[in-house]
Structure 1
Amino acid sequence: MASVDWGYPNEKAITAMHAYSTHDEAKGYPAGTTQAAHDSWMAYYNKHSNDRTGVNYDTWKDSVRGEHPEWVESRDWYSANILDTEGWKKLVKDYKGQITDPSNVRPPAFNSQSDWIDENTTPTGSGFKPPAIGGFKGDAAATNGVAVNTAALEWFAKEVLQKLTGPGNVLLSTVDQLNAVDPKPGGFARAEVLRQAIVGATAQDGGVKGDMKDMLVNMNTSLIAVAEALLKMAGEYKNLEELNSLTTDKLTAIMGESFKGLDGLGGYGAKTIKTDGN
């Protein structure tokens, strides 16, 4: 996650601290209640406001209070905690205090096991075995080891990409292994923050574990698309001369979507975790 500026109310900071949930928790509301109500108010505001006068807040409260008291409550909370300078400072202070203050962080109960890894489900040795991939032998039309048709494309798609992707192969098998990861580093605040950074603290934040799982699943999907595109290209262009005749537009038409999937993988691995609350 890119650095967050806590000095003023902004979307990154509001999202990072799950600000709306603080009101849900204080009131015992289901998660998402306050944000949903405030979103409804904003939809109403955008529909009824104009550039000159906006919506008269006091009149609006009186007109919708009977039907939508939750809108009024959420907007009052937002005004007092997001828009108000002192309210915002307190919200940020409380959030940072929850990160490092042991009285606010609740680690799991102590367990006397010296090794938290279940050797039956997640051995300490990864158990990784690379798929059996034979070397490319070229084809009957090869001269001095250089193939003159598109057999190499087909070999790469079938012997490399299709042996990495799909159920039971390395990418999705690694996802299954990640599901079993659940570190318990110790009963103190920063250790719990570290654990949450790895496995996630909320349904919206899967931590490093969730980020890695998403990346592997999307890599699997992208490489399947690349393999299909290569096989299509190998089928349509039978030799090197035909392959060289490919224009950029034709190549993009065949490979474009699969390349987009690979480009999207660049968004993973950018999350920064700190345990000092800053």
Structure 2
Amino acid sequence: MSGEPKHINQLEPFMLLAKNAKGPALIALINQLLEAPGVYVFGEFLELPCIQELSKGPNEGYCQLLNMFAYGTYHDYKAFKDTLPPLTETQKNKLRHLTIVNLAANTQVIPYSTLLKDLEVGSVRELEDLVIEAVYADVIRGKLDQCRQQLEVDACIGRDIRSQGMGRISSILSHWCSGCESISASIEEEVGRVSQCRESHLKTLQHIEAEVGNIRRMMSATPSTSTQDMDPLGEQEREGALAGSGAERRQTPLQMISKAKSLNNQRH
């Protein structure tokens, strides 16, 4: 979610101040941190040496309270409130926002009944105000469906993770990587199959084009040959007629006069 770097950056001033804070000053800084708008991650603050020392002294409750904001929910705080420092109203609402984030990380649709139970609010109006505050704080993105009485979540920030949970995350990521590799191999196999089909199609197309070219050449050569084969006699008669007319053109004038007299005598 795009809002996470902003929340992390707003933690830095408190970390710088904590390096020189001790005793009551450190307790006051912790209270300010838990009320500060925009600060919703606490893991780095918990790793500071001064906070580690705090967990071994009489004020260890504040270290536990920081752990509750980093990893827990409002319901968890209520279960251990007798051993933890009291919360201001602003701190309660921030822990409720983090509780909504915790729910949103596991499901995209959260019924009002679940929210009312986990946030321990007295009315739907108060619940909707809390959700709207969380949206404006950019810790979740979604919308309230008042008709269906549910919160539809689009995205949420990531919360701090305990060291014990890193193994589970590593397992999930390994499984995800294996799935990606399997999908990648399937895609490569499909690409190879498509390439083979394309090459086969191109070869078939080239063969068809060659056959079409051969047929066209045969058709263009066939008409002249077939005409001679179908009418050999007519061709011979035309040649004979041309030869006869040529012979007549080669007769001398005396031969022509003699031929004319002969025809005239035959008539008489």
TM-score, scaled relative to structure 1: 0.20
Larger Rg: 2
More strand per residue: 1 or 2? Answer: 2
More relative contact order, 1 or 2 (CA 8 Å, 6+ apart): 1
More helix per residue: 1 or 2? Answer: 2
TM-score, scaled relative to structure 2: 0.20
